[in-house]
Amino acid sequence: MEIIEILFTASFWAAAIRIASPLIFATLGELICERAGVLNLGIEGIMVAGAFAGWMAVYSGTGLWTGVCVAMVVGMLFGLLHSTLTVPFGLSQHVVGLGVTLLATSSTYYAYRLALPEVTSPPKIEAFQPFEIPILSDIPLLGPALFSQTPLTYLAFVLVGVVSMVLYRTPLGLAVRAAGENPAAVAAQGLSVTAIRMGAVMVGSGLMAVGGAFLTMSAFDSFFFEMVNGRGWICIALVVFGSWRPGKALLGAVLFAAFDALQIRVQQTSLGTLIPYQIFLMMPYILSIFALILMSRRAEVPAALMVPFNKGER
């Protein structure tokens, strides 16, 4: 069986981890927003904006890490827009989210055309290079798969732990979770629900933008239209799949990425000549839907997700 053989190649797992990385950033971002009670459908557009902003910054001469920070700041600004409309004004989170996606996507394309009016193919940058972690990268199979990635991938995995620690081990994380469960409880303890929710949406949006920047600065070295290609929507599903927990969301992201990496490879096997390649393209999505159905039955949705909170109303 060729498929079994594929599963035991380091290059397959390396690809899976690489494909998972942007999903991890953005899923963590969405998870933070939703844990605070705000559904952020601006994710797709914010990833586009982050992809462009980070790449453009590096193209204009900044360092790679500065580029990541620029992407983060751009994401946070869109998060500020989103949360201003949804938190203090309490507007529909669906409508605002889709609006932010449309605005972020189209204004990014506009900015691209303004910045590079003449070019036919987008210029390349010197992207993040794989960094082999000494000793660990020599482990057979695991080493090349896990420990020969770019620094941004390592950052994604570290962030899963950091977000998990903050959410469950700090007063700040407790306040964020409580804001998503019962904002009245937060207000009754003298905290500002508005500040907590806006802060969570801004940080979350910043992470989404870094997820987008991963595409132009680590996975590829250039910016294309349509390159985010629905990854944001996948992350919304991954948050549900992960039951709003960072660890499980990481698992979901890697699983989805593994399906994706697998289908590309299966296309090149003997099966690929028999079956139209579109079937393989569908595979990760179909499997995700099934996994989602199985997992989300037990999911514990934050009780106040999408419920606006207005102090002093009864």
Partner 1 sequence: MSDTAVEALSLNAITKRFGELTANDAVSLSVNVGEVVALLGENGAGKTTLMNILFGQYTADSGTVRVFGDTLPPGNSRAALDAGVGMVHQHFTLADNLTVQENITLGVQSLLNPSLGHAAAKARIAALSEKFHLAVAPDARVGTLSVGERQRVEILKALYRDVRILILDEPTAVLTPQETDNLFATLRLAIAEGLSIIFISHKLHEVMAIADRVVVLRHGKMAGAANTKDTDQNALAAMMMGSEASPPEVSPAKPGPPLLALRDVTTPDVGSVPGLKSVSLALKAGQIVGLAGVSGNGQTAMADVVAGLLNPTDGDVEMGHETVKKWSPRIAVESGIARIPEDRHKTGTIADFDLVENAILERYKSPDFSKGGWLNWRKSRAFADGIIEKYDVRCPGSSTPIRLLSGGNMQKLILGRVLEAGPQIILANQPVRGLDIGAVHYVHSQLLAARDRGAAVLLISEDLDEVMALSDVIHVIADGRLSPEFKRGEMTPAQLGLWMAGQGFESDTAHAS
How far is Cα 161 from Cα 67, in angstroms, rounded to an integer? 23
First vs last C-alpha separation in the chain? 64
CB 198 within 8 A of CB 83: yes
For the CB of residue 92, give the shortest distance to partner 1 in the complex, in Å. Answer: 15
How far is Cα 264 from Cα 58, in angstroms, rounded to an integer? 30
How far is Cα 143 from Cα 226, in angstroms, rounded to an integer? 33
Cβ closer to partner 1: 174 or 292? 174
Positions touching partner 1 (CB under 8 A) are 169-172, 174-175, 177-178, 181-182, 184-191, 300, 302-303, 311-312, 314
For the CB of residue 277, give the shortest distance to partner 1 in the complex, in Å. Answer: 44
Q: Specify the DSSP element, H or E, that contains 115.
A: helix 93-115
Cβ within 8 Å of residue 175, ≥6 positions away:
186, 191, 196
For the CB of residue 123, give the shortest distance to partner 1 in the complex, in Å. Answer: 42
For the CB of residue 139, give the shortest distance to partner 1 in the complex, in Å. Answer: 33
Cβ closer to partner 1: 135 or 188? 188
Cβ closer to partner 1: 298 or 314? 314
For the CB of residue 203, give the shortest distance to partner 1 in the complex, in Å. Answer: 13
For the CB of residue 181, give the shortest distance to partner 1 in the complex, in Å. Answer: 4
Per the listing, tokens 């929710």 go with 197
Cβ closer to partner 1: 98 or 174? 174
What letter would DSSP give residue 289? Answer: H
Cβ closer to partner 1: 107 or 182? 182
Burial classification of residue 215, based on how many CB atoms lie within 10 Å of its CB (0-12 exposed, 13-18 middle, 19 or more buried):
buried
Cβ closer to partner 1: 293 or 303? 303
CB 249 within 8 A of CB 20: no
For the CB of residue 38, give the shortest distance to partner 1 in the complex, in Å. Answer: 16
Cβ closer to partner 1: 98 or 306? 306
Cβ closer to partner 1: 186 or 203? 186
For the CB of residue 90, give the shortest distance to partner 1 in the complex, in Å. Answer: 13
Measured from the Cβ of residue 186, the count of other Cβ atoms closer than 10 Å reads 27
Measured from the Cβ of residue 47, the count of other Cβ atoms closer than 10 Å reads 36
How far is Cα 122 from Cα 100, in angstroms, rounded to an integer? 25
Cβ within 8 Å of residue 126, ≥6 positions away:
58, 64, 221
